[in-house]
A = this chain, B = another copy of it.
Amino acid sequence: MKALVYHGPGKKLWEEKPKPVLTAPTDAVVKISKTTICGTDLHIMKGDVATVTDGRILGHEGVGIIEETGDAVSNFKKGDHVLISCITSCGKCEYCKRGMYSHCEKGGWILGNIIDGTQAEYVRIPYADNSLYPIPAGSDEEALVMLSDILPTGFECGVLNGQVKPGDTVAIAGAGPVGLAALLTAQFYTPAMLIMIDMDDNRLKVSRTFGASQFVNPQKEDAVRKIFELTGNKGVDVAIEAVGVPSTFELCQSIVAPGGHIANIGVHGKKADLHLERLWSHNITITTRLVDTVTTPMLFKSVQSNKLAPEKLITHHFRLDDILHAYDVFGNAAKEQALKVILEN
């Protein structure tokens, strides 16, 4: 089969690889129908993710059709349409039982990382019963690709951890795909105000169509002062960090109200300053999280009942064998006005 293979920083090839086979009774092999590219894949290509080694097939998102299942797989059979979770869950370790699949002792984020991934014609999925979700006939499968990673990430790490409530004021720092995923899913809880912060006016404009009610461009105005004005000088109830650099995380500390929440989504490469000399008495809560995808069934129901429109995140389409081109476009997201791309097999 053909697959996108990592060969060290900056080097990737669309090349022939052996079709995956079952290696355990809990495995399934899935024929990929549609996949996508994640910001994390770009990090990998820079050489920032040490666990990814030469020869690895990338990708941890997608939908497909069951090709083959191990003897212990009971939820799926050949021909079933499935959503692939970016997080593999064994379903039987301490962390899985606690709903913290991200730290599964045998799984977690392994696809396109320490085992071969989904940017390929076929992929082997370990612990298939707990790591795949059935797609009912008649679903918009393309939209569901957004449920592999980006939507549960924005929702779990940003919205749930931030404890967004009706009537809240919420600020999201970063209007890229994951910030927009947080913006979409924050509306499940009907906050009173949804402030989007980004240095790219186009992304702010896009965020309006996703439901943001206020907009702050820190390059054009004093973000902290503006947000205090918007919130009656109180600060926000929830500040969601969706960039992954110290400055946005520190901005969140400046705008959170007493009793408020800072929910980190961003993948950070450096430490940040935590201003305990001011915040020690502010009754705030800071959370971090690698997505658990424990909310995937709920997100599914929300899509099926038209309460969530994941397809809004999709801006570009490519054939799977045109994936190198897709990486170029996605890698120049600002210029290309790209959010998420779809690769069709």
Interface set of A (CB-CB < 8 Å, partner B): 24-26, 70-72, 74-75, 90-92, 94-100, 102-103, 106, 129-130, 165-167, 187-190, 192-193, 213, 244, 246, 249, 258-259, 264, 266-277, 279-290, 292, 294, 297-299, 301-302, 304-305, 307
Contact = CB atoms under 8 A, between A and B. Distances in A.
Contacts of A26: 72
A167 B249 CA distance: 31
Contact of A280 (B91, B187, B193, B268): B268
A32 to B, nearest CB: 23
Nearest to A268: B276
Given A71-B25, A95-B258, A274-B273, A283 B103 contact: yes
Given A192-B304, A271-B273, 6 more contacts: A103-B258, A166-B189, A167-B297, A269-B277, A273-B274, A284-B287
* Most chain B CB atoms below 10 A, which of A26, A193, A273: A26
Given A189-B188, A259-B95, A276-B249, A281 B270 contact: no
Contacts of A285: 285-287
B167 A302 contact: yes
B288 A281 contact: yes
* Most chain B CB atoms below 10 A, which of A274, A277, A292, A307: A274
Contacts of A298: 165-167
Contacts of A307: 166-167, 190, 192
8 nearest A-B pairs in the assembled complex, by CB-CB distance: A72-B72, A268-B276, A192-B305, A281-B290, A167-B298, A167-B301, A274-B274, A91-B91
Nearest to A166: B188
Contacts of A103: 258-259, 283
B264 A280 contact: yes
A301 to B, nearest CB: 4
Contacts of A276: 246, 249, 264, 266, 268, 270-272, 288
Contacts of A272: 273-274, 276
A94 to B, nearest CB: 7
* Most chain B CB atoms below 10 A, which of A92, A285, A289, A304: A92
* Most chain B CB atoms below 10 A, which of A189, A270, A286, A299: A286
A270 B277 contact: yes
B97 A297 contact: yes
A308 to B, nearest CB: 8
A131 B244 CA distance: 40
A252 B304 CA distance: 25
Given A187-B190, A294-B97, A72 B71 contact: yes
Given A100-B283, A281-B102, A302 B192 contact: yes
Contacts of A91: 91-92, 96-97, 130
A271 to B, nearest CB: 5
A264 to B, nearest CB: 6
Contacts of A286: 274, 285-287
Contacts of A90: 74
Nearest to A285: B287
* Most chain B CB atoms below 10 A, which of A213, A264, A280: A280
